[in-house]
């Protein structure tokens, strides 16, 4: 059978905003929606001031999820756990530039496992930090809020940062996926895509509505505006 090219933007609902008392139901909703990935935020209470999913929860998500797991590691020393996250179903593993002492080593380790390698930048970190590694990346994540908690307001400077990232990608002749995480809404999603985003993480925007699957569909069908 021919392989169907993905339809951009890719939508990755963040399970951090799901109903933990009925997590299985929310996972099945995503399975049957037009979402492309599951976004899994892993926080250790050290790199960011919050704690979220651990391996036991991820193991159960892996059993039910029928779409790729996009695992975002907001943890110190992520190298210690890369293999375990891969074993628990991570198809994409993103580490933070700010958390990795030897970033090339971390990226190489992720790709050696067989996962796609991503690097995230906090709002204060300039795109120029990726100049010497962007050609090795499958994905760049631009944080549009300060990491650690869902439901934060979108940082407007993200749009300019996306444009700078596009310039760097053109300069380096590479095309990693460009993911935006934090404060994504139906109102700003079109602007983000126009600025260069190809993957949108949506938490409260999806799970805070009466029709989450319908909202995912709207994000998939959005028109570039602005």
State the SS3 of 84-115. Answer: HHHHCCEEEEEEEHHHCCCHHHHHHHHHHHCC
> 151 falls in which pLDDT band (50, 70, 90)?
low
120 strand-pairing partners: 96, 141
Nearest Cα neighbor of 160 from 135, 202, 120, 126 is: 126
Nearest Cα neighbor of 202 from 181, 177, 224, 222 is: 181
Is 125 a residue whose pLDDT tops 50? yes
Among this protein's residues, is 70 annotated catalytic? no
| Whole-number pLDDT of residue 147 | 80
Cα–Cα distance measured from residue 202 to residue 103, given in angstroms and rounded to the nearest whole number:
27
Is 224 a residue whose pLDDT tops 60? no
Among this protein's residues, is 181 annotated catalytic? yes
6 compared with 118, residue with greater pLDDT: 118
- Active-site option among 26, 36, 41, 138: 41
| Whole-number pLDDT of residue 1 | 43
Residue boundaries of the structural domains of the chain: 10-220
Nearest-5° Cα angle at 66, 97 to 15:
50
How does pLDDT run across 26-65, given as a tens digit for each residue?
Answer: 999 999 999 999 999 999 999 998 899 889 999 999 999 9
- Active-site option among 26, 70, 138, 181: 181
CATH class of 10-220: alpha beta
How does pLDDT run across 176-212, given as a tens digit for each residue?
Answer: 999 999 999 999 999 999 999 999 999 999 999 999 9
222 and 193 in contact (C-beta within 8 Å)? yes
């Amino acid at each position: 059978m021919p392989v169907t090219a993905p339809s951009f933007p890719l939508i990755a609902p963040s399970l951090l905003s799901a109903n933990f008392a009925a997590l299985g139901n929310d996972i099945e909703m995503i399975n049957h929606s037009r979402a492309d990935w599951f976004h899994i935020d892993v926080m250790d209470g050290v790199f960011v001031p919050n704690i979220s999913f651990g391996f036991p929860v991820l193991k159960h998500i892996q059993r039910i999820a029928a779409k790729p797991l996009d695992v975002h590691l907001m943890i110190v020393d992520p190298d210690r756990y890369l293999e375990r996250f891969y074993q628990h179903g991570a198809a994409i593993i993103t580490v933070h530039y700010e958390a990795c002492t030897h970033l090339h080593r971390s990226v190489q380790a992720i790709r050696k496992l067989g996962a796609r390698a991503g690097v995230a930048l906090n709002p204060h970190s300039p795109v120029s930090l990726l100049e010497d590694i962007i050609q090795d990346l499958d994905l760049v994540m631009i944080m549009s809020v300060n990491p650690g908690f869902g439901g934060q307001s979108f940082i407007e400077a993200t749009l300019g940062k996306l444009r700078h990232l596009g310039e760097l990608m053109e300069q380096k002749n590479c095309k990693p996926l460009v993911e935006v995480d934090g404060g994504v809404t139906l109102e700003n999603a079109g602007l983000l895509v126009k600025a260069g985003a190809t993957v949108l993480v949506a938490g409260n925007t999806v799970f805070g509505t009466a029709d989450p699957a319908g909202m995912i569909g709207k994000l998939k069908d959005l028109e570039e505006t602005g």
